[in-house]
Amino acid sequence: MAKYSSFTTAAITHLPLAVVLTVLLLVAVPKAHGARAFFVFGDSLVDNGNNNYLITDARADSPPYGIDYPTHRPTGRFSNGFNIPDLISQKLGAEPTLPYLSPELTGDKLLVGANFASAGIGILNDTGIQFASIIRIGQQLENFQEYQSKVSALIGPDQTQRLVNQALVLITLGGNDYVNNYFLAPVTARRLQYTIPQFTKYIISEYRKILMNLYNLGARRVLVTGSGPLGCVPSQLALAAANGECANEPQQAAALYNPQLVQMIQSLNQELGSDYFVAVNAMLMQNDFISNPQAFGFITSKVACCGQGPYNGVGICNPTSNLCDDREIYVFWDPFHPTERANKIIVETIYSGSEKYMHPMNLSTIMALDSMI
């Protein structure tokens, strides 16, 4: 049930009884058949199992993935436990969204929302080609259209539009366009075509088109995350860095990408006339505990909990990998992805972080504003 803000409570005490009852109904009655829906688009940072249903190497369906999930079994999440969408669902007071490809996503479960994300994808269609069958962002948006048709058959087109307009949306793209495209090899087609600043400008312009498509499909509250500090993940420390320092070129790329993403979102909101898109500066969030892990109760931000080779950063996490005993004290779960505990810190910042991290507002502000509509 929606909580009343202090503003709402104070204001309604001075209104006639009939008006008070109307306001209480508007604030307290769940919207669009229950708690607000939640939709997720993007890559492995937010995929919760779609790739389990695909013929691809980009999967997290074997142990020790999921070791700290409630079932203690792999779910397709690239985490030891909950991932970012799970933790946001908890903030919304909702059950986790199911993968769009899950056969369980039928009936009333559709009204909770859906996770369309697919590990390995990027903004560009040529990102992740080495993973074969993955759900590229264009297909994710087509799946969103198909989803709306399914829901429309269930509750009607008007209610479906209301559900989508009032939903929270999370989209996470960009990191793979660097690490699984531009920097994939010493010489790549994109490296030959663009400098790092030129490539960044290009993918930002393509991301803008994706966000406009999302808007045209009805999304009105969209959290848009930038990339993390790409040069500081264990895979880069193992392959490209010297003496444990963050790899220079990927860090340069992330440092260009995140501020330009914020600027693009500001421009897009200005064009559309409202703050439909919210920039999540994931690089700044993660830099805090990568640069000073002890301040957050971690012992290391360099070594992955699960992996092999230097920094446990070589290859992928699998049943034969080195595995740490205490996942609570590691920033990184595998060579690329944060631990559940690091994800919790990220989501707390999404929820209550300052404008330094969340522009133009954080999730708690979004929820407070929307509860008054």
The residues annotated as belonging to the active site are 44, 334, 337
Residues 225, 83, 141, CA angle at the centre, nearest 5°?
55
Q: What are phi and psi of 339, to 5 degrees?
A: -70, 165
Are 226 and 286 within 8 A, CB to CB?
no
Beta-carbon count within 10 A of 234 CB:
30
Burial of 83 (0-12, 13-18, 19+ CB in 10 A): buried
Task: Kindly give the pairing relationship between strand 306-307 and strand 322-323.
Answer: antiparallel
Q: What are phi and psi of 42, to 5 degrees?
A: 140, -145
216, 207, 39, 356: CA torsion to nearest 10 = -120
R_g over Cα of the chain: 21
Closest CA to 113 of 81, 144, 155, 159: 144
Whose tokens are 């997290």? That residue is: 60
Q: What are phi and psi of 358, to 5 degrees?
A: -125, 115
Contact partners, residue 33, CB within 8 Å, separation at least 6: 108, 111, 155, 159, 163
